[in-house]
């Protein structure tokens, strides 16, 4: 992968954000495991052709910096494991995971450096999967796990907005994460390894709607002279049935796959993506010939 510098950032900054871990066949991290198998397979295949701009890597690097700082302020002891990497062989693949913080009383903590909106609906499903895979690695090394938690540190928290009770009340929130049974976690681990191996061997595995972070098409009931929607509907017929005044009208808000649009480094090489774009183009032509 080549890092570009389109915004002409100073060289030390570009150098600091340029460290990127190259994926390797037969070796897979927990973070890669929870990502779509197709995405990793395309990364393996097209790594040398990929580019990313330094300016798009700033936040990821800030997160790494905070991890480093937290590591320096916590000493690994008999009681703690800090930034500790564990590995396990699963169906011929080496699975690795680096834990932020584990206490011998069985509490596993993971730090996340995120926008406030990332946790507005609570713990993301992929975080639950990630922590439960770490828990499984710990169990395989005979460490007990009793609790999982995420410490979310908000990079865009605003004190002014905290007057709203639905907004996080401080810059840091601690979330409890559901702990799966050992059987459930082991089954999930084996299934993810199987899917990634399959994709790696060239078998086409489509990314699911959940993996693409799909947002479905919505129909907004609007009123002339007002900017925001009165109400959003999943079905066009329902929105049309809600038009009760001459000033009302329905606006279609097309759905999108947010990960494909903005957060997938291999989208230019993805057949599923190009087929979806072609289908969307055809639909658009039908609607606006
Ligand atoms: S572009 Fe979308 S569908 Fe293709 S690999 Fe990336 S996330 Fe999956």
CA of 122 to the centre of ligand 1 (A): 25
For residues 107 and 149, is the Cβ–Cβ distance under 8 A?
Answer: yes
Q: Which of 23, 35, 37, 38 to mutate to test the pocket of ligand 1 (most atoms within 8 A of CB)?
A: 38
Mean pLDDT across the chain, nearest whole number? 91
pTM for the full predicted model: 0.85
Q: Which residues pair with 83 in a beta bridge?
A: none
Higher pLDDT, 120 or 151: 151
How far apart are alpha carbons 69 and 62 in whole angstroms?
A: 11
Place of tokens 């900017």: 227
For range 174-201, the mean pLDDT? 96
101-145: pLDDT as tens digits: 999 899 999 999 999 988 988 899 999 999 999 999 999 999 999
How many angstroms is it from 281 CA to the middle of ligand 1?
18
pLDDT at 284 over 80: no
Class for the domain spanning 2-200: alpha beta
Pocket test for ligand 1, best of 199, 206, 264 (most atoms within 8 A of CB): 264
User: How far apart are alpha carbons 140 and 252 in whole angstroms?
Assistant: 50
Split at pLDDT 50, 70, 90, the class of 68 is: confident
| Residue nearest atom 5 in ligand 1 by C-alpha distance | 39
Q: For residues 282 and 5, which has the higher predicted lDDT (pLDDT)?
A: 5
Which residue in 195, 199, 204, 213 sits closest to 260, CA to CA?
213
Specify the pLDDT at position 180: 98
Q: What's the pLDDT band for 288 if we cut at 50, 70, 90? A: low
Please name the residue that has the structure tokens 């996080």.
168
Q: What per-residue confidence (pLDDT) applies to 166?
A: 86
pLDDT-above-90 percentage for the chain? 71
pLDDT tier, 160 (very low <50, low <70, confident <90, very high otherwise):
very high
Tell me which residues have their CB closer than 6 angstroms to ligand 1.
36, 38-39, 42, 207, 212, 257, 259-260, 264, 266-267, 270, 272-273
Place of tokens 């959940």: 210
| Digit-coded pLDDT (tens) for 211-231 | 999 998 899 999 999 989 999
Q: Residue 48 pLDDT more than 70?
A: yes
What pLDDT sits at residue 71?
A: 77
Of ligand 1's listed atoms, the one at least distance from the Cα of 276 is 3
Find out whether 110 and 127 touch, Cβ atoms under 8 Å.
Answer: yes
Sort residue 269 into left (φ over 0), alpha (ψ -120 to 50) or beta: alpha
The mean pLDDT of 171-193, rounded to a whole number, is 97
Give me the pLDDT at residue 69, please.
Answer: 78
pLDDT (mean) for 83-109: 94
Q: Which long-range contacts (CB under 8 A, 24 or more apart) does 138-142 make?
A: 138/86, 138/99, 138/102, 138/108, 139/182, 139/185, 140/86, 140/88, 141/86, 141/88
Rounded to the nearest angstrom, the distance between the alpha carbon of 263 and the centre of ligand 1 is 9
Residue 286 has pLDDT above 70, yes or no: no
pLDDT in tens, 232-246: 999 999 999 999 999
Ligand 1 centroid to 30 CA: how many Å?
A: 19
Phi then psi for residue 274, to 5 deg, are: -70, -35
Q: Quick one: which atom of ligand 1 is closest to the CA of 211?
A: 7
Domain definitions of the chain by residue range: 2-200, 214-287
Lowest mean pLDDT of 60-69, 178-187, 227-236, name the range. 60-69
pLDDT at 109: 95
- So what's the pLDDT on residue 255? 86
User: Which atom of ligand 1 is the closest one to the Cα of 266?
Assistant: 6
């Amino acid at each position: 992968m080549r890092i570009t510098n389109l915004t002409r950032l100073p060289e030390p900054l570009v150098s600091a954000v340029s460290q990127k871990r190259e994926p390797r066949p037969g070796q897979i991290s927990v973070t890669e495991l929870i990502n779509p198998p197709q995405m990793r397979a395309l990364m393996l295949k097209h790594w040398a052709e990929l580019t990313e701009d330094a300016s798009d890597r700033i936040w990821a690097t800030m997160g790494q910096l905070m991890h480093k700082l937290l590591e320096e302020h916590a000493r690994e002891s008999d009681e703690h494991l800090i930034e500790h990497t564990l590995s396990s062989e699963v169906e011929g693949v080496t699975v690795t995971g680096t834990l932020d913080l584990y206490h011998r009383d069985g509490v596993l903590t993971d730090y996340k450096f995120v926008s406030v909106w990332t946790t507005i609906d609570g713990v993301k499903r992929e975080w639950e999967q990630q922590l439960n895979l770490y828990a499984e690695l710990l169990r395989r090394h005979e460490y007990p796990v009793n609790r999982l938690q995420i410490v979310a540190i908000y990079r865009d928290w605003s004190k002014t907005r905290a007057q709203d009770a639905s907004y996080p009340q401080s810059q840091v929130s601690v979330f409890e994460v559901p702990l799966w049974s050992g059987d459930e976690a082991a089954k999930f681990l084996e299934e993810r390894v199987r899917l990634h191996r399959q994709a790696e061997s060239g078998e086409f595995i489509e990314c699911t709607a959940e993996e693409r972070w799909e947002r479905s098409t919505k129909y907004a009931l609007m009123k002339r002279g007002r900017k925001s929607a009165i109400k959003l509907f999943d079905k066009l017929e329902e929105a049309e049935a809600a038009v009760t005044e001459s000033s009302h009208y329905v606006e279609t808000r097309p759905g999108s796959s947010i990960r494909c649009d903005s957060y997938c480094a291999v989208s230019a090489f993805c057949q599923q993506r190009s087929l979806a774009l072609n289908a969307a183009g055809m639909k658009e032509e039908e609607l606006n010939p």
